Amino acid sequence: MSNCGSMGIERKRVRVGQKFRPDNPKHVQRVRERIEEDHGPGFELDGFEPDEGLAIFKRESNTVVTSHAGNDSKIIKLPQGTKQSDGKSRAVSLADTYPGYQMTTFEPHRRRAIISKLSEDVIRARDAISTALRAEPWDIQVSKRDDEGYSFTLPAGYRPSKHDDALHEVATVIIGEPGWYVETDTHRRTGALVPAELATFEAVYKTPMPKKMDAFDHTKKDHFQVPMGIALPDPGQSHQVQYLNLEAHQMAQLGGTAGSGKTVSINAYIAYLLARRAEMVIIDTPSKSADFMWCQEFLIPGGWGCDSIRHAAATAEMVRQEGARRAKELKRQGAVNWKDLPADKGFKPMVVVIDELTALYAMDSVPKIPKDAPPKQVELKERAEATNFAKSLLKDAIKNIAAEFRFVGICLLASTQVASATTGIDPALRTNLGHKLLMGSKTTEANRRLVFSRPEAVPTIPHHVREDPKASRGVGAIEPEGDTPAVFKSYFRTTDEYRDWLISLGVPQRSEEAVTPDASWVAEVFGEDDIDDGGEDLGPAPEAPKHRPGPAGSKAVEQWDALALDG
């Protein structure tokens, strides 16, 4: 930095009116006193413009010409008695005296100010940044960056919680444009407005399909990380995988309207966990279960609870009893959580995927009929009552699974379009579903309130993503337990691709008969003496079942064991 001494002339132009007389000492003294109140002593009358009624006073001051932030600058000596509150008047005075200069530093305690030549865009940025920081322009230093952004210093009063929103507005609206972002370093007290493009999504992100996937090991933290898609990055950051961390919580709620991408997300979830050899169970309505026919053969025996509401309830009860069995086994081994077991004695995770939960829970209307009603009406009434009984059993089982069996390695993903108490999904169930996902680019605030625990903390889908047909397809928002909420886009593969991948990994396959709840087990769940399944088309009963139809110790298993021995 080079310095050279020089004499500077500071001038003040004061409107005194046309009656002012420059040869009248009292007039001159009165104006001089006015000037010195704001700017200190040393001013002398230098001229008078009678037509304008302006008196010009000047003062000689010592200045040092230096280089400041890459611009020509001058250090101005301030008069004795200058106060901090004089900053605004001093800035105006110096700008008037030194055209083209702005006061960039004001240090009355050191009796000096620095004035600098600033470009118009730097002046504009400085004014906007100082307003956002609630500071005077001369309390911060602003300079242009090589990338056309701006660097600036932070005043002592900077607080992220108070000022970052306003700085973001400066970056994206006032100075820059959408995509620009703010960086701050509170330790170094520096900041920057950084130019960048708006982050968006590609049309498709394909689900990773490694050629080898180790079986689930509860002692390995990375096995709990279920890759769901790609997260929309913060400005200036790169795209990263969005995981669902089953170590943080094993229960999840997935919402979204028709066509929003719920099934695509569920398929990615199912495929990963099947590839890890998890025990998979699916419960759905018969009309929607076609979405998951691709993975039916990879389910556990009795794990396809989709052909009727009775099957759904029987499968859910099977899971509940398996949870109770695991709890006893944990106690026997002296452990309190499945994650505490040794690697060679642990449980496989049992994953329960429930789709269309609202439809499964919705009770049928039971018609009122007279005592002497014809048989057909009686049959309709009894059928509705039987359906509602099955739905009650299903609802109780799911409620217990979500509330009680995380510690034994049971995972639950519940999907529905509308998750409210009026549709049977009460707050107690939603509370037990730790991870929250809401699919769809144009969800409403009402949708968000029914899914997210703290909707105000979950980002909304940005306008530029929402309005882009390719980028918006398959997007949603996630409120993961123990992690930062985000906007993400689901991974995608065709169901044929998922199936071929699982077969290539050697995931065990079973027949449709094997994964469908056994008629004996269904009857046992409903407290029936025979195995009539209510007239449902279950297909011919096998001579000897090829799978365990229910939990250990059940009547259906005893029958299975006897038949197996006989066969």
467-523, pLDDT tens digit by residue? 999 999 999 999 999 999 999 999 999 999 999 999 999 999 999 999 999 999 999
Strand order in the sheet with 142-144: 142-144, 150-153, 190-194, 181-185
Last-in-domain residue among 118, 138, 154: 118
State the virtual CA torsion across 371, 373, 374, 380 in degrees, nearest 10: -110
**Per-range mean pLDDT, top range of 38-47, 105-114, 286-295:** 286-295
Name residue, tokens 């309830």. Answer: 313
| 365 and 322 share one domain | yes
Regarding pTM above 0.85, the answer is no
| 113 and 124 share one domain | no
CATH number at residue 321: 3.40.50.300
pLDDT tens, 4-33?
A: 444 467 788 999 999 999 999 999 999 988
| 321 and 380 share one domain | yes
Higher local confidence (pLDDT), 541 or 69 = 69
| 31 and 180 share one domain | no
User: In Å, what is the CA distance from 179 to each residue of 142, 171, 237?
Assistant: 21, 8, 11
d(CA 278, CA 217): 10
| 192 and 271 share one domain | no
Give domain status of residue 81, yes or no: yes
Of the CA atoms within 13 Å of residue 477, those in its CB half-sphere come to 25
DSSP 351-378: EEEE--HHHHHPPPP-----TT--HHHH
Strand partners, 45: 57
| 264 and 393 share one domain | yes
For residue 199, give the nearest of 240, 150, 160 by alpha carbon.
Answer: 240
d(CA 473, CA 261): 8
Give domain status of residue 308, yes or no: yes
- For residues 472 and 200, the answer to whether their CB atoms sit within 8 Å is no
Strand partners, 106: 113
Give domain status of residue 241, yes or no: no
Report residue 302 as tokens: 């009795």
Residue 95 lies in domain: 1-118
What average pLDDT does range 334-345 have in this prediction? Answer: 91
Of the CA atoms within 13 Å of residue 244, those in its CB half-sphere come to 31
| 432 and 365 share one domain | yes
250-281 b/e with 16+ CB inside 10 Å = b? bbbbbbbbeebbbbbbbbbbbbbbbbbbbbbb
User: In Å, what is the CA distance from 241 to each residue of 202, 229, 351, 489?
Assistant: 14, 6, 22, 10
| 53 and 190 share one domain | no
Mean pLDDT of the chain: 88
Give domain status of residue 226, yes or no: no
- For residues 270 and 295, the answer to whether their CB atoms sit within 8 Å is yes
What average pLDDT does range 359-369 have in this prediction? Answer: 90
Give domain status of residue 324, yes or no: yes
Last-in-domain residue among 118, 134, 157: 118
| 107 and 128 share one domain | no
| 280 and 392 share one domain | yes
Give domain status of residue 370, yes or no: yes
pLDDT of residue 422: 58
pLDDT of residue 496: 98
What average pLDDT does range 280-304 have in this prediction? Answer: 97
d(CA 41, CA 35): 8
Give domain status of residue 422, yes or no: yes
Amino acid at 274: L
Give domain status of residue 232, yes or no: no
| 186 and 272 share one domain | no
Count the domains in the chain.
3
d(CA 247, CA 148): 44
d(CA 24, CA 22): 5
pLDDT tens, 166-203?
A: 999 999 999 999 999 999 999 999 999 999 999 999 99
SS3 12: strand
| 146 and 33 share one domain | no
For residue 19, give the nearest of 56, 57, 50 by alpha carbon.
Answer: 50
Report residue 229 as tokens: 């898609």
pLDDT tens, 420-430?
A: 655 557 788 88
Last-in-domain residue among 64, 83, 118: 118
